[in-house]
Amino acid sequence: MSVAGTSRGVADLATRYSLSSASEAQLRSLLEYVAGSPQAPTTLRDPEAILADHLADSLVALELPEVRRAHDIADIGAGAGFPGLPLAMALPAGSVTLIDSSSRKCAFIASAIRLCGVENARAVHARAEEWPDGLGAVDLVTARALASPGVVAEYAAPLLRVGGLVLAWRGRLDPGDDEAAERAADVLGLELQEPVQVHPYPAARHRHLQLMLKVRETPEGFPRRAGLARKKPLGAG
């Protein structure tokens, strides 16, 4: 896809999600920066692939009214800044914290925030389990390509206010993952919602968004020590 074609693709996303011209310009700057920066922590370099697999796949969350209503958002395992940066650009009235345990990734996110002029986003170098400022302070936690839904639930639940939501990107649904997530959610004070199938771009297959609602306070003892959510998942077995 040419530069002009990629620009049209960003414009199409802005139209699809009713975004402002300022948001569209920020998205275009982000795409160009990721495509052109050797420091970008992603294997995708082709602008067309970045447009589809990063920008479109992030912004498809805007199809959920709950996402558009969220004000305080935490993107855990933010990587190269997706979905957090596109969502910050699309939701300028919100506040987005992008959290990653890699200092290199956080440095890239911070540079993208400066370059694209995203005033409502910040990068935090931390593990989700070791971010005390976020405990009980967030409306929405997002996680894309991070872990199974049950593990994401454990990372996210302590950060949420009651009434807040976890949003996990999923591929093909797996009944075993669903059962494990149900068990973990029950322990953590979350309620699993029905996954929503989405089509962020024409070639996308088996894409789903998984919401989990925080219905009661997460019990004492969470978050557990860093690393335990993966090593000893709550929903296992």
| pLDDT value, residue 182 | 96
| pLDDT value, residue 63 | 98
CA atoms within 13 A on the CB side of 113: 23
Domains and CATH numbers, the chain: 3-231 (3.40.50.150)
Per-residue pLDDT tens digits for 152-179: 999 999 999 999 999 999 999 999 999 9
Q: Which residues pair with 169 in a beta bridge?
A: 209
Helical segments of 74-211, H only: 84-90, 103-116, 149-156, 175-188
Per-chain mean pLDDT for the chain = 95
For the chain, strand residue ranges (E) read 72-76, 95-100, 121-125, 138-143, 160-170, 190-192, 196-198, 207-214
**Mean pLDDT to the nearest integer, 81-86:** 98
| pLDDT value, residue 4 | 62
**Mean pLDDT to the nearest integer, 76-102:** 98
Whether the model clears a pTM of 0.85, i.e. scores above it, the answer is: yes
- What DSSP designation does 55 have? I
Distance CA 167, CA 173 (A): 15
pLDDT classification of 60: cutoffs 50, 70, 90: very high
pLDDT classification of 6: cutoffs 50, 70, 90: confident
Whether the per-residue pLDDT at 141 is higher than 70: the answer is yes
pLDDT classification of 57: cutoffs 50, 70, 90: very high
Whether the per-residue pLDDT at 99 is higher than 80: the answer is yes
pLDDT classification of 236: cutoffs 50, 70, 90: confident
- What DSSP designation does 214 have? E
**Mean pLDDT to the nearest integer, 57-81:** 98
Whether the per-residue pLDDT at 146 is higher than 90: the answer is yes
| pLDDT value, residue 155 | 97
Q: How far apart are the first and last CA of the chain?
A: 46
Helix, strand, or coil (residue 195): coil
Whether the per-residue pLDDT at 219 is higher than 60: the answer is yes
